[in-house]
Structures are given as structure tokens and as C-alpha cells.
Chain A
Amino acid sequence: MATFITEECINCGACEPECPNTAIYAGGVQWEFQGATHDAISNDFYYIVPEKCTECVGHFEKEQCAAVCPVDCCIPDPNRPETEDVLYARAKQLHPDRAFAELSAATSRFRK
């Protein structure tokens, strides 16, 4: 499941630079994907674009936005369940020029 940001967000912006997929945007800011721009998902607080979120699979052992969020408002979206395979494929799609190593506990929260 993609990670999403709840209404508890205080707009501190700590999460945004941590995302390896540039999936996090400030409220009201249009998001970009494959050369196209899209309307903001939230106008009030930071948001995560599900199409760009891999829950940090392929990159880190856990979601980096959640790791740095001081108010614990970056949580898994229960309405968008996704498998590790789906998330890993998305990571490869988002970073076609990068050679991904085989997933491990260091690069997937599913391997803990």
C-alpha cells in the first residue's frame, strides 16, 4: 500500500527531501510524472503521489518519510494495498537508469 499523509500534518516539510522517488509535494503544488503535470492532491498539507510511492522498496529498509516525521502522520494507506512485487516494479519504472540489487532487509520493509 502506498504511504499517505494524514490531516495531522503540520507542514514542517521534513518528509519531502527524504523521498527517493520525489513523490512528496507541498500542499497546493502540482505534481509531475513522466513529463506531465497534475493538480495537487491536497491544498492544505503535504501529500504523497501514490503512483510515485514505492514505500521505499528498492531504496531503504523502511519508509523514509515516516522515519523523519515528528508527528507520525505518514502511514500506510489501507485503501491501497500493494505487494512488494508491485512496489519493486514501480521503483524500477521510476528509475529506469538505475541498477537495483536484489531486495533485502536493507531495501525492503517486507524483508524484516
Chain B
Amino acid sequence: MDERLDLGIREFNEGRYFEAHDILEDFWQGYREPDRVLLQALIHSAVGFYHLDNGNLKGCRSQLVKACAKMGAYLPEYWGLDLAPLHASMRKQIDVIDVHWQTKAKSLELSVRPRIQRSHRIAEGYSSIS
């Protein structure tokens, strides 16, 4: 797999979501295989958390919804990535935002900052992501 996937995920795991999106987008633009949908799901996820960091809850929610929908076909793991925890974290974040809107709470518990981890089951031979 292209090294940009590793680089993008490293940026994601460091919370540098714009940079993560930027690297993954560069990869996505030229990648034409059917599973490019998963790449786009990872971009949606990075952009969603970027918007979250910047207080754009509407943008965050929309992006995470798209990410979850597109990632669904690749669960629980793909490309050696353990996607199920990321998917669950995004669902949780969507719920947190919904509750925030419904209760009109002044503060928002936004503790969800997932990491994309290597799948233990198929990590052999593909261990470059730290």
C-alpha cells in the first residue's frame, strides 16, 4: 500500500487532522480502485475531527456521518487497519453532538479522539504504522 496511507494515519493519530486529510487526499485523487471509498472515509474522519477542533459541530457531524457510512463495508478491518474502534468512536462522537444539540448544553464533552490502530490479526508484513 502507498506510503501516504501510513503518513496520513500517523498525522491523524497525532491529532494533526488537516495534515492527515491533505496527505490522504493526495493519495485518493490518483487512486482509482473500488476501495478508494475507504480512503475517502478516512478523509471524512480526519476532516470531521478537524471541524470538531475548530468548533464547527455541524461540519463535524456531517463528515463523521459520511465517514461511518463509507467505512461500513470495510469493517472490522481492511488494509491491515483495525477500523471497528474508529467507527465506534465516530458513532459516539455523533451521539455526543446530537445530545449536545438536544439538551442545549453550554459545555460539550468532546473527549473522543480516536487513534487508528494496526489490526493484530493481519498486521504481519505490514507494520509501518506506529
Contact = CB atoms under 8 A, between A and B. Distances in A.
- The prevalent SS among residues of A at the interface is loop
Given A70-B28, A70-B43, A71-B63, A8 B51 contact: yes
Contacts of B62: 6, 8
The 9 closest A-B pairs by CB, nearest first: A70-B25, A8-B59, A7-B59, A70-B43, A10-B47, A71-B47, A8-B62, A8-B63, A7-B58
Interface residues of A, number: 11
Given A8-B51, A8-B62, A14-B25, A71 B44 contact: yes
A12 B56 contact: no
A72 interface: yes
Interface of A: 6-10, 12, 14, 68, 70-72
A71 B43 CA distance: 7
B91 interface: no
Contact of B25 (A6, A8, A9, A12): A12
A7 B47 CA distance: 11
